[in-house]
A = this chain, B = another copy of it.
Amino acid sequence: MSSIKDVAKLAGVSISTVSRVLSGSPNVGNSTRQRVEQAIETIGYKPNLLAQGLRSKRGNLIGLVVPEIHHETFSRLIEYTEEEVRAQGYNLITGNTHGQPDSEDEFIQSLLRRHVDGIIFSRVSDRSRALRILQKDGIPAVIIDRFLENEDIPTIVTDNYGAGVTAAKHLVDLGHTQFALITGPQNIALCRERQKGFAEYLESQGFALPHRNIYEGDFKFETGVDAAKYFLNNAVEFTGLWAENDLMALGAMNTFIRAKKRIPSEISVMGMDDVRSATIVIPSLTTIAQPFSAMCSKAVDLLFRMIDGNSFKDNKIVLPSNLITRESTGRYVVP
């Protein structure tokens, strides 16, 4: 790899002039600038990012913290973020934490040792010491997809309450009058919000959501299965079901079908996320898509503005979700 010296020599200037050209400083004569640019071109020179980072304390690097890289939601987050970041001339280092605070802290440490310019968190563990470490070091950070209360870090989230409303409204519009809900873990704020939106819309329309019609899952396919079995075994009455994510909806639907229930004529099922499987199964799954692409680009945008020195404390950006109607929900017909 060639260095700034080679360029300086070829252009017949000092290395500081080359550096100035590189950083777009106005204090360079026009003809000099051209000569330098010419030299850079012919040599094919690219600044050494380690040297640049060491000196300027800006590593040209963004960190992304996710709990599981291979989960569909996160891999989409990674893909979008990587593209946004790279478009700005930065690289992205992604760390898989399994939600373990230790792993999270260790990863953050290695990022700090590389002079990361900013970090995007998706699903910070509540017990993480990471955020505090960052704030101490003044590293910009944004949180995507999950909202941590009591933290003054900019956050980009889906309108989870609105998603609940959308789900309920879709089912009500189809004529359903009895409903069931499979939630995610209740200790997660966004789950409570989704449930709130769902329940409150039903209530506003004069429908009830009895306690026994709600099953708490953990976002996995298997708890969707468990939920369906619970509903079936306890003869819970409903025709419209929403699960707070697709995997649980898919697990429930699979179980209903195996129990010879007809979907959507006997039970309408809808999920949230729009995972790949939603279009693969029969019937295809009605769902609510989160605006991941927009969320990522917003997150990256915000992060770079923070890197540029802007402050966005107490900033929470809420993006709308989007109903995708497929085959698993249908008009309620009186039996």
Give the interface of A toward B (CB within 8 A).
1, 46-51, 53-54, 59, 68-72, 74-76, 78-79, 82-83, 86, 91-96, 107, 109-110, 112-115, 137, 221, 250-251, 254, 257-258, 276-277, 279-282
Contact between chains at B282 and A258 (CB < 8 Å): yes
Contact between chains at A50 and B59 (CB < 8 Å): yes
Contacts of A113 in B (CB 8 A): 1, 46-50
Rounded to whole angstroms, the CA-CA distance of A253 and B114 in the bound complex is 49
| 5 A-B residue pairings within 8 Å (CB atoms) | A46-B109, A82-B94, A86-B96, A86-B107, A277-B277
Q: Distance (Å) between the CB of A69 and the closest chain B CB?
A: 4
Q: Pick the contact of A96 from B82, B93, B114 — CB < 8 Å?
A: B82
Q: Pick the contact of A54 from B54, B69, B96 — CB < 8 Å?
A: B54
Contacts of A70 in B (CB 8 A): 72, 75-76, 78-79
Starting from the known contacts A48-B113, A70-B75, A82-B95, 10 additional A-B residue pairs (CB-CB under 8 Å) come to: A50-B50, A50-B54, A70-B78, A72-B75, A82-B94, A86-B95, A91-B95, A251-B280, A276-B277, A281-B282
Contact between chains at B49 and A51 (CB < 8 Å): no
Rounded to whole angstroms, the CA-CA distance of A50 and B48 in the bound complex is 11
Contacts of A95 in B (CB 8 A): 82, 86, 91
Contact between chains at B250 and A280 (CB < 8 Å): yes
**Are A94 and B94 CB-contacts (below 8 A) given A79-B69, A250-B280?**
yes
Contact between chains at A1 and B112 (CB < 8 Å): yes
**Are A92 and B91 CB-contacts (below 8 A) given A76-B70, A280-B221?**
no
Q: Taking CB as reference atom, which chain B residue is nearest A94?
A: B94
